[in-house]
Amino acid sequence: MSRRPQKLETVRVLLVDDEKELLKATKLYLENTMKDVHITTSDSASNALDCLNKEPFDVIVSDFQMPNMDGLELLEKIREMDLDIAFIIFTGKGREEVVIKALNLGADYYLQKGGDVQSQFSELINLINKSVEKKKADMALRKSEEKFSKAFKFSLNAMALNRFKGRAFLDINENFTKLLHYSREDVLEKNPEELSLWAKKEDYLEYQRLLRETGEAIDHETLLCTKDAQMIPVLISGSLIDIEGELCVLSVARDITELTEALEALKENEQRYRLMFEGSPVALLNLDLFDIKRQLDELGEQGIKSLREYFKTYPKILANFVNLININEFNNAVLQLIGATDENSVRIFLEYEFTLKNIELFSKIFEFLISGGSLLEEEFTVFNLKNEKLRILVRVVFAPGYRDTWSKVFVTMLHLAS
C-alpha cells in the first residue's frame, strides 16, 4: 500500500550525496533560494533509507555514483517500498545508459553534473518545483478518482459506465444489479443492444443522439428491461467523460415505478373527483380566497377585532371583497340553483349577496377561515337571478393542504326545500 500523500505546504527534500561539501553547498543554496522548503541531507544511500523510515519526503535528489549502494540501487529499493516520492538523479556527463535505466526504474527527472554551478542549481530548483507540481496534480487526480469511485459504488441510483465507441459496458454498480437483475459478469464487454436493455429502440436512439450531439442527456424517460423480462420505468441521464484517454458514457438511471404508479392513481382520483364534482346534484363552488386572506391579515395587523362592526362601519369594503374572489370552478348545479348561465352571472349573484343584509353570514365565514376550522354550516335566505326566494344551507371547508393559503376553499349550497 502507498503511504497516504502528504499535504504539500512545506516541501520536504532529501539530498543524498557522498560528497559532503557539495551536499552542504546544495542545502544552503536551496534553503536560501526556495520558499517553504525543509532540507534533510544524507551522505549515503543506506542512511537515506533510514531517513525515509523516520519522516516523509516529497522529493529525493540523489547522486548516482556512491560507494556500497549507488543512486539507481537506492531508487530501486524506494520503488520496491512503494513510496510516493519524486526522484531526481544526478549523473555525470556521457552516462546516457544511466539516465535510461533510471527512467525505466521510475525516476521522475535527471540532472547532469558539470558546467556552470549557478545554472545547475537553478535547474535543480526547477526540477524540484516540477516534481512538487506533478505530485499536487497526481494527488488531485487521485482524490477525484476516489470521489468518483465512491459516488459510483454507493449511489442510490443504478449507474453504468460504457465505451462510447461500441457501447460496451465497462462497469456497473450494485444498484444496477438490484434494479435490472444483471450481474457485473453478465454485462461486461456487452452492449445494451445485445442485452435488449431498452424496451423502446426509438428511445435508445434518441438517447445516443443527444449524447453524440450535445455530450449529455438529462432525465430521459423510458422503459428498461430486466434480465427476467420485467419492464421498469426510469429516468435516465448520461454524459460523455474521458477515462484514461478513452471517451466513455456515464449513465444514471432512477427507478420511477412508485412515481409512475402515484401519478396513475392521481389521474384516476382526478377523474373520479371530476365525475363526482360535475355530476353532483348539490351546488359546488371551488374558490380561491388568497387575496381575501391577505386583506383580512392586513386588517388584523391594524388591530381590527370585530369584522362584523368593521363591515357595518365600512360596508363598501365588504362589497369590494367580491372582487377579490377567484372562481376556480363550479358545477352545473350552481347554475341551476341561482339561475345563472356562466361564470359572469355567478359573479353577479355573488356581488348581490356581498352586502350588509348578509353581514352576519360573511362575518362568520371569514372568522371561520381565520380560525382554520374544519367545517362551517350556516343557513341563510337568498334571491336567485330569477328573483326566486331560496332557503340555503351553506357549508364551507378547506381543501386538504390549503388551510394556510385559502387558495382552494369548497363552498356547497343546498336548497333546503329539496
Q: Where are the domains of the chain?
A: 11-152, 155-255, 270-415
Q: Which CATH class is domain 270-415?
A: alpha beta
Q: Is the sign of the CA dihedral 342, 343, 348, 350 positive or negative? A: positive
Q: Please tell me the predicted confidence (pLDDT) of residue 356.
A: 66
Q: Please tell me the predicted confidence (pLDDT) of residue 289.
A: 94
Domain 155-255, CATH 3.30.450.20 — does that match?
yes
How is the beta sheet containing 11-16 ordered, strand by strand? 37-42, 11-16, 59-63, 86-91, 109-112
CA distances from 326 to 33, 97, 289, 340 (A): 78, 90, 7, 17
- In CATH, the architecture of 11-152 is 3-Layer(aba) Sandwich (3.40)
Q: Which three cell numbers stand for residue 233?
A: 420505468
Q: Please tell me the predicted confidence (pLDDT) of residue 414.
A: 92
Q: Please tell me the predicted confidence (pLDDT) of residue 119.
A: 86
How is the beta sheet containing 231-243 ordered, strand by strand? 169-172, 158-163, 246-255, 231-243, 216-225
Q: Please tell me the predicted confidence (pLDDT) of residue 418.
A: 52
pLDDT tens per residue, the chain (418 residues)? 344 444 557 899 999 999 888 899 999 999 998 888 999 999 999 999 999 999 999 999 999 989 999 999 999 999 888 888 999 998 765 577 888 888 888 888 988 877 788 888 899 999 999 988 888 888 877 887 787 888 888 888 999 999 999 999 999 999 999 999 999 999 999 999 999 999 999 999 999 999 999 999 999 999 999 999 999 999 999 999 998 889 999 999 999 988 888 888 878 888 887 888 888 889 999 999 999 999 999 999 999 888 888 888 888 888 888 889 999 999 999 999 999 999 999 988 888 887 767 888 888 888 899 998 888 999 988 889 999 999 999 999 998 889 999 999 999 999 987 5
**Vertex 400: Cα angle to 394 and 402 (nearest 5):** 85
SS3 350: helix
Q: Which three cell numbers stand for residue 358?
A: 348578509
- Quote the longest CA-to-CA distance of the chain: 121
CA distances from 216 to 173, 245, 248 (A): 20, 18, 11
User: Could you give the count of Cα atoms lying within 13 Å of 265 in the half-sphere of its Cβ?
Assistant: 6
CA distances from 63 to 16, 31, 72, 77, 254 (A): 6, 19, 9, 15, 58
Q: Please tell me the predicted confidence (pLDDT) of residue 5.
A: 45
Q: Please tell me the predicted confidence (pLDDT) of residue 8.
A: 52
Q: Please tell me the predicted confidence (pLDDT) of residue 116.
A: 81
**Intrachain domains 11-152 and 155-255 with the same fold:** no
Q: Which three cell numbers stand for residue 199?
A: 424496451
Taking the C-alpha atoms of residue 91 and residue 89, their distance in angstroms, rounded to an integer, is 6
